[in-house]
Structure 1
C-alpha cells in the first residue's frame, strides 16, 4: 500500500537534519543554536511522520548563556557504528562570529541508546565547524570538517578536511588532509559527510550559503583522502534554485536573487542520506517556506525529505531525474504509513516532567525556576531577567510550525513591582519578541494586563492598551494569521476581548531581525511560549494552568 510523504516532515525550527537508520527505526538530529536542551532528536518508522523524542545535550554539557544568536550548537551529525553498536553525535559549539572569525569548539559524544546516557564530550579541535564522523567497514573512523579560512586573499569559507581518528582512545591519527573547496560554482562548501557505496567514498556537502541559493552537492573517490571527482552535472543534486549560480569566494549570503517564484519550498540544502530497510534511498535536507508574497521565513529552516536513486554511472539523483526539491515524496515500498503526526501542542502540566518539545533560550531548564511540583497541576515559572537578556530569561516555548495558529494559556500572577511580569509571548531572540503580560501598574493601582514588544533591540510599550485584572487571574490568546497577530484576554469565563492593535509579527523571522545588506539576519525560527520576569528581587512567580498551540 503506497503513501505520499508531505514536506516539511518536521515543520518549524528544525535545521541541518542528520538522518540515520538502525534496523527499522529512523532518527534525525537537528541544530538548536542558542536553545536548551540542545540538539533535538526525532524518531520515525515511515519517514513521513516524525516525533521529537529526546535531546543530545541535556546534562550541563554546554553553557549557552550570553550566546549571540545565531551562534550556539550547530549542525549535529548523527551516526551509528555497526561494529560497536554505538550512536555518535558530533557537533559544533559556535562561540564567536565577530570579524567572521567563527570560533567554534567541536565535540563528539557516544551512547548505547539514542536516549543516552551520552559520554563526556570528546574535543575534536577548533579548526572550523560542522564536524561529522564516518565509520568505515574495516573498523577505521574518520572526521570531516570545514576548515574555516580567515586570511585575506584566500577563497572563503575554506577547505573541507578529513582526518583519521582513534575513537576508542580519543586521538587523531596522522594529519588532516584538505580534499576540496566544493564541487560546484556555488561556493560556501560546508557540512561535509561521507558515505560509502560500491567501493566509492561519496562526499556530500552543503553549498551556496544557507539562504536562497542553498543546495546539496556531491563528489566521489576510491580513496577516502581523495582526490574527489565532482558530480558530472557540476550542479547541486538538491536545491530550490536549479539555475546556474556562480558565487565562489562568497562565504555566506542570503542570495535573495535566487528566490524561486515557482516553488513553495525555498533554501533546500544541507542534506543527509539514508538507505532504508527496503533498499531505497532518501535524503533529508533543510528547507524554508516564506510567507506568501515575501522573502520572510518566520518558521525558520525546516526539515524535508526527497526520494533518491543511483543512476547507471553511480551518481545519486532525485527519483524524478531533476534536482528541484519537491513538497511531496513517494513513501517506502511495502511500508504502511503510521498515524499522521500532529504538530499542534498542548501541555496541561499534570506530570512531573514537562513536554520534550519545550525549549528555553540561553539558559538551562531546571526545577529551581520552572517546575510542576510547587503547585501540582500547574507550571510554576519564577521570574528573573527581562526577555532582552541573553543570560537568564525565564521562558518555556515551542517552535511555531504553521502560518496560522492560536496560542492559549491561563495564569495567576500577583506582582508587587512594575518590573515583575508574567504572560505569553512570541519570541525569535533576545532582541525580537512580542509579550502580553501581567504586571503591577502604579497608575491603575494593581495587577494589569499590558503589551511589550522588542523589534531589533528597541523596546516598545503600548501604554494606552492595558486592562486592570483585579484578582490576578487571566486567560490569554494570540491569533496569528500569516504574520498578523491579535491578542485577546478573558476574565472569569467572560467573552474574549481584544487588547491592543493587530500586530505585524512577520518580522519575527530569519530575514526580519536585522543583518547587513544581502545577508540573512538569523538562522533559527519563531518560538511561542510562556514566561516570567522579575527584575526587582527575583522573588515572584506565576502559575500557568496549561499552554497550547493549535495549528489551523
Structure 2
C-alpha cells in the first residue's frame, strides 16, 4: 500500500498552507527572520515535496532587526478559479514586546505559483494569521485572529471574519467576531475557511505553539456564524489527546502535555485539501524532540494525515482517532515513490546558489554573495559579526535530520582578527557555533578556531587554535543528536584531524534559545551555514568550493 511518511518536509517548514490546482499540490510555509520569505513547495503525490521557490524575494519586507521568533508568520495560499490567480496572505510580526504582538498583514497574487508575485498590499493590523476564502458566489472573505491586549479579557482574542474587496485589499463593512475557539485548549489562531454541503467549516490552530498544539473545527450555515463546535469538544488533530483546560493562557510551552508514546509532538496548525481522487488530507506542523529531552532543534516541520467526513458531516482522521501519526495512507491509485533525499550538495557551478539557501535578516544580493566574481566558487564578502541582526554574511540551509555531516572547502586571506570565514550551526543572532579561519596577531599567521554564542553570550575556544599553512581548509562538522564534532584538513589527501568533540549544541532548538520560563523561546529551527565576517574594513571575502550536507 502507498504510504506517506512524516514529516514530508523536514526541518523548518511550519504553518503549512496546502492547495491543489488540477493534479498538482502546493504548500507555503513560514520563514520568520529568514530570506527569501515564504517557502513554496510542490508535489504530485503528497508524499514527496520539492521546493520550487519563494514569494518574498525582491526585498518586499525588511527583516533587519527582527527579534526571534518574529518576522514572516503563517502564509495562507489559495487559488481563485474565477481569476485564475494564486493568492497569498501573510503577517509581518514586527514587535512581540509587552505581548502587544504588533503585526502588519498583507495580500499578494501571481498568475504562476513560481511568480512573479505582486507587491504586497496592506490588509490589516488587527492581529495575525490571515487567510482568504473565495466563495462560490463570487465573494471573498478574510479570517484572522484579533489579538487581545486588554487586562481582564480572554487572551489571545477572537477569531474575526470580514468580506474583502480583492481589487483594493480593503475590508468591506465590519469585522465579525465569530469565536474564541471550539475547545478548552484556548489560544485559538490561524483560522481557515472551507465549504462543503452547505456548511462553512472554520479550521483553527489551538493550544499554543508547544506540546498542547492541535487543530479544532466548527461549522455554520452562514460565513459570519454562529459556529457550532465539533461534538467531541476536543481537537480533531493533536499529538497529546488528554483533555486540557487552558482558556485565557495566551500561549505557553505546555511541557506537561508531552506525549512519551509518540515520536511526533506539537501536531497542529492544519490546512485541508481535497485531492483529484476525491480524498481529503490535512497538512499540519509537528516537531520531533531530541531523545528524552524536550528540545526540538529541527523546529516545526510539515506532516500530512488522511482525513474522512462522517455521515453527520464532521471531519475526522481516517483511523477514527485524533492522534497524528508518523505514517498515513497515501492517495488511491498512486504507487509509493520511496523516500525523497534531503541531502544538499552545491558545487556552485550555476549562476545562482540553489533554492535551499536562506539568509538571516538581510537579502541575498550579488554585491555580498555571488558565483560570478570567481566562477566555480561561492564568494561571500564579510560584514557584521554573527551577533548582528542587520548585515551578517551567512548562507544557510535547514537542518533536516538528527544525524548528519556538514562539509565545505574555504579559501580565505585575513590580515586582521576581525576578519573570519568558515561554517557552522545557526539558530539566530544570539545562538550559533562557528568554526572559522582568521588572523592571529600572536602567531602572526592564519589560524583555525571556534567561536560560540549561547543565549547572547560569546564563548571563544582560545585553547583550540590550529595554524593554517596555505590560507585554505576543508572543514567538517558532524551533528549527532544535539552534539557536534569538528574536524579539518589542509590537503585533500590528509586524514581528517579532530579540532573539538562532543560540543553540546542541543540548546540550538526552539526551547533552548532566549525565551521566558514556561514558554517556547523560538519556533524556527536549526540551520547549517557557511559565511564570513569583516568587522575591520569590509574589504575581505571568502571563496567556498562546495557545500555538502549528508544525512545519515
Shorter-chain TM-score bucket reads over 0.9
State whether residues 51 and 341 of structure 1, in contact with CA within 8 Å, keep that contact through their aligned partners in structure 2: no
Find the counterpart in structure 2 of residue 551 from structure 1. Answer: 551
Find the counterpart in structure 2 of residue 397 from structure 1. Answer: 396
User: For 1:39-62, what per-residue CA distance to the aligned partner results, in whole angstroms no more than 9, with x for missing partners?
Assistant: 000010000000111001001110
The answer to whether residue 357 in structure 2 is matched with residue 377 in structure 1 is no
The answer to whether residue 544 in structure 2 is matched with residue 538 in structure 1 is no
The answer to whether residue 498 in structure 2 is matched with residue 495 in structure 1 is no
The answer to whether residue 546 in structure 2 is matched with residue 524 in structure 1 is no
CA distance in 2, matches of 1:58, 1:352: 16
Find the counterpart in structure 2 of residue 281 from structure 1. Answer: 280
- SS of the equivalent of 2:26 reads strand
The answer to whether residue 342 in structure 2 is matched with residue 354 in structure 1 is no
What does residue range 183-198 of structure 1 map to in structure 2 within 5 Å?
A: 183-198=182-197
* Residue 170 (structure 1) shift: 2.6
User: For 1:292-325, what per-residue CA distance to the aligned partner results, in whole angstroms no more than 9, with x for missing partners?
Assistant: 1110000000000000000011000000000000
CA distance in 1, matches of 2:169, 2:294: 44
* Residue 339 (structure 1) shift: 5.7
What does residue range 463-474 of structure 1 map to in structure 2 within 5 Å?
A: 463-474=462-473
Q: Which ranges of structure 2 fall in alignment gaps of 5 or more residues?
A: none
State whether residues 433 and 453 of structure 2, in contact with CA within 8 Å, keep that contact through their aligned partners in structure 1: yes
- SS of the equivalent of 2:506 reads coil
CA distance in 2, matches of 1:499, 1:292: 26
* Residue 171 (structure 1) shift: 2.3
Find the counterpart in structure 2 of residue 230 from structure 1. Answer: 229
- SS of the equivalent of 2:98 reads helix
Find the counterpart in structure 2 of residue 268 from structure 1. Answer: 267
State whether residues 134 and 143 of structure 1, in contact with CA within 8 Å, keep that contact through their aligned partners in structure 2: yes
Find the counterpart in structure 1 of residue 136 from structure 2. Answer: 137
Find the counterpart in structure 1 of residue 366 from structure 2. Answer: 367
CA distance in 2, matches of 1:511, 1:235: 26
Find the counterpart in structure 2 of residue 245 from structure 1. Answer: 244
Find the counterpart in structure 2 of residue 486 from structure 1. Answer: 485
User: For 1:153-195, what per-residue CA distance to the aligned partner results, in whole angstroms no more than 9, with x for missing partners?
Assistant: 0000000000001102332211110000000000000000000
- SS of the equivalent of 1:99 reads helix
Find the counterpart in structure 1 of residue 123 from structure 2. Answer: 124
Instruction: Identify which range, 500-509 or 424-433, moves more after superposition.
Output: 500-509
CA distance in 1, matches of 2:104, 2:17: 19
Find the counterpart in structure 2 of residue 415 from structure 1. Answer: 414
CA distance in 1, matches of 2:336, 2:112: 25
* Residue 254 (structure 1) shift: 0.1
Find the counterpart in structure 1 of residue 510 from structure 2. Answer: 510
Find the counterpart in structure 2 of residue 167 from structure 1. Answer: 166
State whether residues 77 and 90 of structure 1, in contact with CA within 8 Å, keep that contact through their aligned partners in structure 2: yes
RMSD: 0.7
CA distance in 1, matches of 2:316, 2:239: 14
State whether residues 412 and 421 of structure 2, in contact with CA within 8 Å, keep that contact through their aligned partners in structure 1: yes
CA distance in 2, matches of 1:305, 1:469: 48
Find the counterpart in structure 2 of residue 432 from structure 1. Answer: 431
Find the counterpart in structure 2 of residue 78 from structure 1. Answer: 77
State whether residues 462 and 500 of structure 1, in contact with CA within 8 Å, keep that contact through their aligned partners in structure 2: no
Instruction: Identify which range, 292-301 or 494-503, moves more after superposition.
Output: 494-503
- SS of the equivalent of 1:272 reads strand
CA distance in 2, matches of 1:222, 1:230: 13
State whether residues 436 and 449 of structure 2, in contact with CA within 8 Å, keep that contact through their aligned partners in structure 1: yes
* Residue 337 (structure 1) shift: 3.6
CA distance in 1, matches of 2:439, 2:501: 22
The answer to whether residue 9 in structure 2 is matched with residue 17 in structure 1 is no
CA distance in 1, matches of 2:210, 2:185: 12
* Residue 121 (structure 1) shift: 1.0
Find the counterpart in structure 2 of residue 313 from structure 1. Answer: 312
- SS of the equivalent of 1:300 reads coil
CA distance in 2, matches of 1:169, 1:289: 42
TM-score of the pair, normalised by structure 2 = 0.99
CA distance in 2, matches of 1:21, 1:477: 41
State whether residues 107 and 169 of structure 2, in contact with CA within 8 Å, keep that contact through their aligned partners in structure 1: no
CA distance in 2, matches of 1:253, 1:43: 32
TM-score of the pair, normalised by structure 1 = 0.99
Find the counterpart in structure 1 of residue 155 from structure 2. Answer: 156
CA distance in 2, matches of 1:51, 1:450: 36
* Residue 451 (structure 1) shift: 0.2
User: For 1:226-284, what per-residue CA distance to the aligned partner results, in whole angstroms no more than 9, with x for missing partners?
Assistant: 00000000000000000000000000000000000000000000000000000000000
* Residue 516 (structure 1) shift: 1.5
CA distance in 2, matches of 1:199, 1:322: 25
CA distance in 2, matches of 1:90, 1:551: 34
CA distance in 1, matches of 2:308, 2:44: 20
- SS of the equivalent of 2:256 reads helix
Instruction: Identify which range, 492-501 or 407-416, moves more after superposition.
Output: 492-501
CA distance in 1, matches of 2:170, 2:259: 45
CA distance in 2, matches of 1:339, 1:231: 36
* Residue 290 (structure 1) shift: 0.2
Q: Which ranges of structure 1 fall in alignment gaps of 5 or more residues?
A: none
Query: Which ranges of 4 or more aligned residues in structure 1 deviate by more than 4 Å?
Result: none
